Amino acid sequence: MLCTIVSKTRMRSSECVGGILSNGQFVRLLDSNGKNQPIGCDFEIGQIWEIEYQNSANCTPPHVEDILVTSSRFTGRIAAKSDVATWIKSNFNDRIWYGSPDVLFDGLIQWTDSGSGYINRKMKFHHVARVFGFQIEI
């Protein structure tokens, strides 16, 4: 299935890669072992990849979008990285949160002293209307 890469975030020792499948499903692309992608992985924002995958059997909210990529082949680009936000606004406007980060995930995000956001595992997360989308500060 085709997957458009829409996010790539550097973690401590890996990269969290987000994509949108050709059927409109939002996904987090894990490796075949269920781990985040390695630093320097080939996936880049704006690229389209043909991927084979299986759904993760170990989805833990808020990451219910996890898939295990078993093979991938680069096929092209939708746009330059700088134009991906415009593409998202044109095609997925209903999946955009507008405002500060406090509006994300129905306001369940808590913040560490260093500014990292998290959702307490003890909170009831399954009721949130959207668990994957895009936040635009206004």
Residues 116 and 76 in one domain: no
pLDDT the model gives residue 15 = 95
Using alpha carbons, select from 8, 31, 4, 7 the residue that is nearest to residue 20.
4
16: Cβ contacts below 8 Å, ≥ 6 apart: 7, 8, 9, 28, 36, 37
Note whether 16 and 50 are same-domain residues: yes
Q: What are 79-116's pLDDT values in tens digits?
A: 777 788 888 888 888 777 777 777 777 777 888 898 88
Please give the pLDDT value at position 130: 53
Is there a contact between 49 and 69 (Cβ–Cβ < 8 Å)?
no
Tell me if the pTM is above 0.85.
no
pLDDT (0 to 100) of residue 137:
53
Q: Residue 33 corresponds to which tokens in the numbers above?
A: 């072992």
Domain extent at residue 59: 2-83
Q: For residues 76 and 111, state if they share a domain.
A: no
Domain membership of residue 88 (yes or no) is no
Q: How many domains does the chain have?
A: 2
Residue 8 lies in a domain: yes
Same domain, 108 and 48: no
In a domain, 107, yes or no: yes
Say whether pLDDT at 127 is over 60: no
